[in-house]
Amino acid sequence: MNTQHPRLRTLYQETIRHKLKESLKLKNIMAVPRVSKITVNIGLGASKKDPKIAEIALRTLERITGQKPVMTKAKKSISGFKIREGMAIGAMVTLRGNRMYDFMDKLVNLTLPRVRDFSGLSTGSFDAQGNYNIGIKEHVVFPEIRSDEVEKIHGLQITISTTTTSAMQGFALLEAFGFPFKK
């Protein structure tokens, strides 16, 4: 196991945490918000017609995150969407610790700059608890995916969960990590 801390974790512990304590006017260093987990999801709507798509999406997710994905199943049947209870409808990975910081570093510095016509992340994607959602239309922007191997392009959803109590604190935290928000 790698004993060296990821670059972003070290940056958070040595500088970001102290700057946020000052700017948010917090009394205790333990009250400073932090990123608790990152969840990456892929919806498998098209896999009803072609089961091979689910397998491709699972391999893609494992390659992007470096962790084995879990299949998500439908909790109840919905006839309008032709979904039966227990049917596989998605795949997800939850990242914590060093893998989370490595993924966040890769997302900010390698992946987002590769997105076509990228003009910055929307500040309106925060929820009331300060968690942030990013939708990526094409999975080929990740450096692990080689464009010559891609059979079908699909999107994915990234949720960054924080320990903040407001969207304003969540914005301050992610901006300190270098997330490119629209001005």
> Residue 133 and residue 143: Cα distance in Å, rounded?
20
The answer to whether residue 97 is domain-embedded is: yes
The two beta strands, 70-73 and 88-95, are antiparallel
How confident is the model over 31-44, as a mean pLDDT?
Answer: 91
In a domain, 181, yes or no: no
Structure confidence at residue 79 (pLDDT): 80
Whether residue 54 is contained in a domain is answered as yes
Query: What's the structural domain count of the chain?
Result: 1
Mean pLDDT for the stretch of residues 42-57: 75
Q: Is the residue at 105 inside a domain?
A: yes
Model confidence pLDDT, tens digit, residues 152-178: 777 889 999 999 988 888 899 999 998
Query: Residue 2 above 60 pLDDT?
Result: no
The confidence score (pLDDT) of residue 40 equals: 93
Enter the tokens of residue 60: 């893609």
| Rounded-to-integer distance, Cα 159 and Cα 28, Å | 27
Range in 17-21, 32-36, 44-48 with the lowest mean pLDDT: 44-48
- Which amino acid does the sequence have at 107? L
| pLDDT over threshold 90, residue 80 | no
Beta-sheet strands, E only, within 5-164: 35-43, 70-73, 88-95, 132-136, 156-162
On whether residue 73 sits in a domain, the answer given is yes
Residue 51 lies in a domain: yes
pLDDT of residue 49: 67
pLDDT tens digits for range 127-155? 888 899 998 887 777 878 776 666 777 78
Q: Is the pLDDT of residue 70 over 70?
A: yes
Range of the domain at 119: 7-176
CATH number of the domain where residue 134 is located: 3.30.1440.10
The answer to whether residue 2 is domain-embedded is: no
Q: Please check whether residue 115 lies inside any domain of the structure.
A: yes
pLDDT value at position 1? Answer: 46
Burial label, 1 (beta-carbon count in 10 A; 0-12, 13-18, 19+):
exposed
Q: Is the pLDDT of residue 39 over 90?
A: yes
Question: Cα(175)–Cα(36) distance, rounded to whole angstroms?
Answer: 16
| pTM given for the model | 0.86
